[in-house]
Every structure is written in C-alpha cells, then in structure tokens.
Amino acid sequence: MAERGLRYTKDQWGEIVGQTEEYVRANPTQALMYGVAAGFILDRLPIFKIFGMLVRLLLLALKPALLIFGAMKIYQTTQDESTDR
C-alpha cells in the first residue's frame, strides 16, 4: 500500500511539473512576474519569527505533557505492583 501511495505521489508530482513547464514555456513573462511576486511576498513574511513562536509554543506544551506522561507511568507501575501481590 505504501509503494502504491509513493507511486501515485510521484506520478502526480511529475504531472504538476510537466504542466508547470508547459505554462512557463507558453507564458514566460507572466511566469517570471509570478515568481518575482511570490519571492517578494515570501521575503516579507516573518518566517523566522513564526517558526520561533511555534518552537516556543511546542516547548511550553511539552512540559505539561511530560508531567502527565510521567504521572501515567507512575500510576501504571503502582497498578502493576499491586496486581502482582
């Protein structure tokens, strides 16, 4: 099933690349303008700030998750020990 999914993804990617090449060959000026506009927009986005905020959020959420995970493991261990007796 994984191989079929990979094959499908490769086929779709190849089709997208082919369509893009055809469009660029048919409309080179317009494609260049789209590329410049996309580059300008990506340059203006605060990607590093967004990424930094996501990392901080994940680290903030990691502490309670680790606490809950540790408490669950302690509970499971005590439950296993009480059933062994």
pLDDT tens sequence across 28-81: 999 999 999 999 998 888 888 888 999 999 999 998 999 999 999 999 998 887
User: Is a pLDDT exceeding 80 seen at residue 22?
Assistant: yes
Break the chain into its structural domains and give their ranges.
Answer: 1-45, 46-85
Q: What's the chain's length in residues?
A: 85
Quick one: pLDDT at residue 85?
64
Q: Residue 15 and residue 18: Cα distance in Å, rounded? A: 5
Q: Is the pTM of this model over 0.85?
A: no
In 3D, which of 23, 1, 4, 2 has the Cα closest to residue 12?
Answer: 4
User: Is a pLDDT exceeding 90 seen at residue 21?
Assistant: yes
Mean pLDDT within 10-35: 94
Do the Cβ atoms of 31 and 23 come closer than 8 Å? yes
